[in-house]
Structure 1
Amino acid sequence: MDKTLQEVQRRLIALGYNLGPAGADGYPGRFTTAAVTQFQKDKGLAIQFPGTIGPKTLAALSGSENVKPVELPWIAEARKLLGLHEVKDAKKLDKALRLDTSEIAWCGAFVGMCVATALPSEPMIANQLGSRNWLKFGHTIGSPQIGAVAVFWRGGKDGWQGHVGFVVGHDKTHLHILGGNQSDKVSVARVAKDRLLGYRWPTSYPLPTGTLAMTTINASITTNEA
């Protein structure tokens, strides 16, 4: 692991760039290259080989405003379970969430566990299994931000079913959601923006600022998280 690269990745994440499911792991990859390239373009840096990290890029990152030193704590918790499947990894997943994931829609329980573990003083909602109940959580925010809790309708906008997960990026038509019960596992998937009911943010953590840059991601589209 390259600690300098890991710090670069952390700064890019804090600025809203998509580093993919691995996040700030200190290893190079296509998500890191794409994020560095986009950052260089956004800053107007004249780089002979876009995507490479040299003195100009490091200086620009060091001088960037609103840079947080580490990944959001609840996203870090969520990534610990990334890839776990409700059947193949039932024992480990059920232990983490303290329920039988084969019997219920567990996306809300996943969000609740991550937030409660990372932010023990955060007021939590009742009935976390009800996805739409997460519209009562924390503060409302008006635009996508890394770490925001995104609440979606499922089945029908006027119905009672829903889905909930964490924003880790977005493109023109879809949000990139790190969530549970997506193809029966913890994954990063694309969820259509026209299904969104609202974004929420923890009351015990500073509100985000700035605009989240659009990125591309190699992830499947999820349409029904039952």
Structure 2
Amino acid sequence: MSETANLWADIDDAGYWHKPEAEDDSKKTAITDEDAKPEPKPPLVKLSSGTFLEPSMGFEYNKQCRVRIKVDYLDESAKNMKKVNFSLFSKYLGKTENLNVSKDGYEQDGYAEADVILYYPSAYDEEKDKNAVYFFRSTHCRGEKAVDSMELNMPQPLHFVELKKDDYDENGADKYNKEKDGDNYKEKQVVTELQKNLVTLGFLADGDDVTDGYFGDKTDKAVRNFQDCAIKTDRMRRSKGKIEKADKALDQSEPDGIVGKKTADEIDLWLRKDWVKPQITLRHGEYDDSGVQNGKGKSGTDDHHKGTPVVKAQENLQKVEVYTGYAVDGWFHDHMYDALKQFQEAAGKGEFLIDNVLTDIGEKLTGYVKGSYCPKTQAYMEKVVEKKGVVPKPSKPKWIEIAEKEIGQKEIKGGDKDNPRIIEYHSTTTLKAKHDEVYWCSAFVNWVMTQAGYKGTNSAVAKSWKNWGKNVNKPIYGAIAVFDFGNSGHVGFVVGKKGKKLLILGGNQSDQVMKSLFKTDKIVAYIVPSDYNDEVSLEEANEQFTEANFQTTR
């Protein structure tokens, strides 16, 4: 019996096992409650002077307002601990209630701020009492203590201000040197707050030039766009990225660009509901109504989008010339995913071909989700399409340019002569074969990569390339395709496709350097150099090429 087994031999033997002897308590050191208490950490932050910041049009029930707390650091080490939590409470009919509104704010210039919504207390009854009191409690992970703010008595008098084109507030007056009086001047920061809300809702691009306090053309267009969306019932929550239906729409026949009480209330409703401009995000594997018709999925699933947004995205990808040779079928498949990433990579540089001239279009795409047709990517693509820009074709990898110049090199059949060029290929492997009829596909790839400035595998074995560089796990232009035929293999460069077959540029294909079509079932790796980060989609080959197999690589 093993030593391990002996350790457990007494488990089932009632006469063997016995209870361990009790420890002598007199020898133990007593642990008091005082000893068990952890050493309290000294406070590093002091919070004080919590206040509600009045919105430009006054405090209202069920509307958003901003809260602020003063933050003092008691130690230099705490200055990177900027987060403060705000919790909202109400007092109504003698009862204090936590309204379950918890927001984080971050210290900047000595204060932390956050936006909260003044929700009605749960027992609120206008007929019993219209009055309620609000306060917020601020906490910090290393604060002295939780701090309650000053109280806000509701309701408060309102001072609603209608806004329209050419109105401006204090910020607009200061920025554009305008008089702080007249019909178009509005006190406080009412226009600036409107612009910030439109940015939050996605109807106005972010930036200092748009939140300037002046109700100009951009703000007018954003208000009209908001009204046009709000008149309909389609809504989209920021967190979901899917269209949903609202119970009610903005009670207005058509957009007029005027922010009256109805439009202002609708903006507040959108902020409370976390609705944003309905621009859906399309992701890999999803499909639209056209995709359903083409048998790509069922209607009503989480992956299904109503209408034809995927079709429109595919059409735009065609216009910028990255989605070529594929069907516009309403399905976000692998080829569309690759095409979209190619567009996003170009958009990140901000350069496109316009009338065959590489042109900087003035801005770069930032903050996007790679491979996702998100609102930022959609808006950027629409600009590129409007300018009739196309994605520049990537330059060929250096090794492909070298390999293409070798096309036509072939074995010399019969006699004692050998092609010296193939012998040169062999010289880059440890085998250093002296005859051109010795299998030379790996020698060819070694020679090409050496000429391109890389150190190859130095091996005449095709499958040695499986562990070289990095495996991209899919066919991309320029990748080294490694074939495994069992006892032997083959290796060559991916340069295109035709249907479900790949076009491989390689040596020892029908005894020469040529491009041949191969099935993909024997390919075990797609290899590129470790420092190569381009990902170029494969184009459909228009020419006719010979089909190859194991026998043609012998």
Shorter-chain TM band: 0.5 to 0.7
1:86·1:101 contact (CA, 8 Å) conserved in 2? no
Letter in structure 1 aligned against 2:457: I
Provide runs of 4+ in structure 1 moved above 6 Å: none
Alpha-carbon distance in 2 for matches of 1:67, 1:164: 26
Equivalent-residue separation in structure 1 for 2:359 and 2:516 (angstroms): 28
Q: Which has the higher contact order (CA 8 A, sep 6+)?
A: 1
77, 80, 84: which one pairs with 2:409? 84
1:42 aligns with 2:318: yes
| 2:545 maps to 1:222 | no
Q: How big is the shift at 1:67?
A: 4.4
Question: What is aligned with 1:141?
Answer: 472
> Given the alignment, which residue of 483, 497, 507 partners 1:180?
507
Which stretches in structure 1 are left out of the alignment for 5+ residues?
1-40, 46-54
- 1:114 is matched with which residue: 444, 448, 455? 448
* TM-score under structure 1 length normalisation: 0.65
Question: Contact 2:446/2:458 (CA < 8 Å) preserved in 1?
Answer: no
**3-state DSSP of counterpart to 2:447:** helix
**Residues 180 and 112 from structure 1, CA distance in 2 versus in 1: closer, same or farther, beyond 3 angstroms?**
same
1:74 aligns with 2:399: yes
8 Å Cα contact 2:411-2:419 kept in structure 1: yes
Aligned to 2:382: none
State the match for 1:203 in structure 2.
530
Displacement of 1:123: 4.4
RMSD: 2.9
**CA drift at 1:213:** 3.5
SS of 1:215's equivalent in the other structure is coil
Aligned to 1:130: 461
* 1:150 is the counterpart of 2:478: no
CA distance, structure 1, for counterparts of residue 442 and residue 522 of structure 2: 16
Change (3 A) 1:214 1:61: farther
How far does residue 164 in structure 1 lie from its aligned partner after superposition? 0.2
In 1: Cα distance, 2:521 partner to 2:359 partner: 34
How many residues in Structure 1 have an aligned counterpart in Structure 2? 169
More strand by share: 2
**Structure 1 residue 59: Cα displacement:** 5.4
CA distance in 1, matches of 2:506, 2:435: 14
CA contact (8 A) 1:73 1:118 kept: yes
Distance 1:213 1:115, change over 3 A: same
| Cα distance in structure 2, aligned partners of 1:189 and 1:114 | 18
Aligned-partner residue type, residue 125 of structure 1: T
Per-residue deviation at 1:202? 0.5
CA distance in 2, matches of 1:209, 1:110: 23
Q: Which residue does 1:13 correspond to in 2?
A: none
Whole-angstrom CA distance in 1 between matches of 2:505 and 2:403: 7
Give the conservation status (yes or no) of the 8 Å contact 2:477–2:535: no
Secondary structure of the residue aligned to 2:356 is helix
Q: Distance in 2 between matches of 1:64 and 1:102?
A: 45
Question: Which secondary structure does the structure 2 equivalent of 1:160 belong to?
Answer: coil
- Deviation for aligned residue 1:189: 0.5
| Structure 2: tracts of 5 or more residues without a match | 1-316, 322-352, 361-388, 428-432
